Amino acid sequence: MTDKLQRLKDLLGEVWDLNMAAAVLGWDQETYMPPGGAAARGQQLSTLSRLAHIKFTSDEIGQLLDDLAPEAESWDPDSDEARLVKVTRRDYLKATKVPSDFVAESAQVASQAQMAWREAKATSDFSKFEPYLTRIVELRRQYANFFAPYEHVYDPLLDDFEPGLKTADVQRIFDALRPQQVELIRAIAERPQVDDAFLHQPFDEQKQWDFGVQVITKFGYDWQRGRQDKSAHPFTTSFSINDVRITTRIDPNYLGTGMFGTMHECGHALYEQGVSPTLERTPLGHGASLAIHESQSRLWENLVGRSRAFWEHFYPSLQATFPSQLGNVDLETFYKGINRVQPSLIRTEADEATYNLHIMLRLELEIALMEGTVEVKDLPEVWNAKMQEYLGLTPPDDAHGVLQDIHWSMGSIGYFSTYALGNLISAQLWERMTQDVPNVEAQIRQGEFGDLLGWLREHVHRHGAKFEPQELVRRVTGSEIDPEPYMRYLRTKYGEIYGL
């Protein structure tokens, strides 16, 4: 038994190394790679992902899992070992349905598509990206069909990001959420608007960078086990639990982008840095799902970073950093400004109240693309129509519309709803956490985040991918993914800011 488990771990470790090598190549591609390197990089990533897939789907791993499964029944079901067998078996059964050549082709198309997307976005020319996205949608549909029969063609895609969750589950959650969000936004729109013009001024880039570093150092980001670089689209990536990197993007004329982006990515990174070392180099050695990941990034960005308590501590330092821009802006004005609710074009800069509408738009488009009811060539038009319908806005160009997100160029269709789910989960975790750390607000007011991070480490981070997202949420909070805590949070916060 021990021999078989060790052999399984050795084989999975090899797959892990290949995946981590690919992650390094991906990080380099987004941060430092010169343009000429793109074609070869695509080929390298393709080879690595193909080899990782071949190795993971080997008969030997299948046999070891079959051999271990009955014995694992007798182990503590929450032990690392029992979960390793269970989760790996689930992933193995999925992976063996997908041919290695398909995986390689997808990786290569994604690599080229990212370059094309970058160029298309820079010139706001959707036609440069269209053929790549068309190919990606074809490949995603082909991918879904490896898992036929399914309830919905979108299910297999969603399952890659949220194991165990169905399209119908997400639609049900969103159906409960949508009217409440719309109602809240309508109520806010009837109240006098708060001012945030002071955020839109020139801010020295290096000082913005340094302030972000100061904040996330306080959060507990471990610089011995990570670093921050710049990229067009901020992301977090890890090459081991001891090398978890973030990137950020600084807007020289708007304070919000870099500041909240840095906190957001730090939230992801704290999760990965907090996974138990016993899970390293196994399929459990990373976050449980994208929604759980997003609950961490949004928690630090919003529930912490956009709270009054946080700024009671940090605002004097920010004011001292930017005296000419913020010297005459008092804390209350600043706090309201960073929480201003205003329908806007760019998802990553949307406020907490409108954010989920950006997600619903994308989810609907993804489902329509997969169902074939919308074609790629019509996407800019459909996007703009929905933006008008949901947010009352029309993008001036595709760079501020359909081309704004990197995700589709990476082949990541099925991903977006996890952002909204993450928002919901962040509020569920927060409500539960305040029972154990009742004075968390007072601590944050002192710039102390140790108890908060400790609680998250204990209840969420250390488990890695041992539990599926719904199971993890249930274990920690006692209920499934539920929109009510998030709506309570929004109503309380904006009720106070807008005097509802």
DSSP string, 396-410: SSGGGTTTS-SGGGG
* The binder of a copy of itself chosen from 5, 7, 9, 13 (CB under 8 A): 13
Compare residues 115 and 326 and give the one whose CB is closer to a copy of itself: 115
One character per residue 226-255, x = contact with a copy of itself (rule: CB under 8 A): xx-x---------xx-xx-x----------
User: Candidates 30-38, 150-158, 196-204, 307-315 — which segment interacts with a copy of itself by CB under 8 A?
Assistant: 30-38
| In the complex, minimum distance from the CB of residue 258 to a copy of itself, in angstroms, rounded to a whole number | 20
Rule CB under 8 A: say whether 20 interacts with a copy of itself: yes
The string of DSSP codes covering 153-208 is TTHHHHHHHSTT--HHHHHHHHHHHHHHHHHHHHHHHTSPPPP-GGGSS---HHHH
Nearest approach in angstroms of CB 241 to a copy of itself is 8
CA distance 99 to 105: 10
Applying CB under 8 A, the span of 20-28, 335-343, 413-421, 481-489 interacting with a copy of itself comes to: 20-28
Mapping DSSP to helix (H, G, I), strand (E, B) and coil, where does residue 246 land? strand
Minimum CB distance to a copy of itself, residue 25 (Å): 5
Q: Do the beta carbons of residue 105 and residue 46 sit within 8 Å?
A: yes
Site string for a copy of itself, 204-223 (x = CB under 8 A): ------------------xx
CA dist 472 and 458 (Å) reads 12
Contacts with a copy of itself by CB under 8 A: the residue count is 39
Helical spans, DSSP H, in 73-166: 80-95, 100-123, 130-145, 155-161
Does residue 280 touch a copy of itself according to CB under 8 A?
yes
Which residues make Cβ contacts (< 8 Å) with residue 386, sequence separation at least 6?
361, 364, 365
- We find the least distance from the C-beta atom of residue 24 to a copy of itself, in angstroms, to be 5
Question: Collapsing DSSP states into helix, strand and coil, what is residue 482?
Answer: coil
Q: How far is the CB of 481 from a copy of itself (least distance, A)?
A: 33
Binds a copy of itself (CB under 8 A): choice among 22, 259, 367, 402: 22
Identify which of residues 146 and 223 has a Cβ nearer to a copy of itself in the complex: 223
- Catalytic positions, written as ranges: 265
Whole-angstrom distance, CA of residue 15 vs CA of residue 401:
38
Smallest distance from the beta carbon of 38 to a copy of itself, in angstroms? 8
Restricted to residues 31-50, the positions that interact with a copy of itself (CB under 8 A) are: 32-37, 39-41, 43-44, 46-48
Beta carbons within 8 Å of 12's beta carbon, 6+ residues apart: 56, 61, 88, 281, 282, 283
Nearest-angstrom CA–CA distance, 274 and 242: 9
319 binds a copy of itself (CB under 8 A): no
β-pairing, 228-230 vs 243-248, is parallel
Which of 225, 336 has the CB closer to a copy of itself?
225
Task: Say whether residue 105 binds a copy of itself (CB under 8 A).
Answer: no
Contacts 24+ apart (CB under 8 A), 413-416: 413/136, 413/137, 413/140, 413/157, 413/366, 413/369, 413/370, 414/140, 414/154, 414/157, 414/158, 414/159, 414/160, 414/161, 414/366, 415/161, 415/290, 416/359, 416/362, 416/363, 416/366
C-beta closer to a copy of itself: residue 15 or 440: 15
Nearest CB to a copy of itself, comparing residues 34 and 392: 34
Regarding 268 and contact with a copy of itself (CB under 8 A), the answer is no
| CB 212, min distance to a copy of itself, A | 17
> 36 vs 438, which CB is nearer to a copy of itself?
36
Residues that bind a copy of itself (CB under 8 A): 13-14, 17-18, 20-22, 24-25, 28, 32-37, 39-41, 43-44, 46-48, 51, 222-227, 229, 239-240, 242-243, 245, 280-281
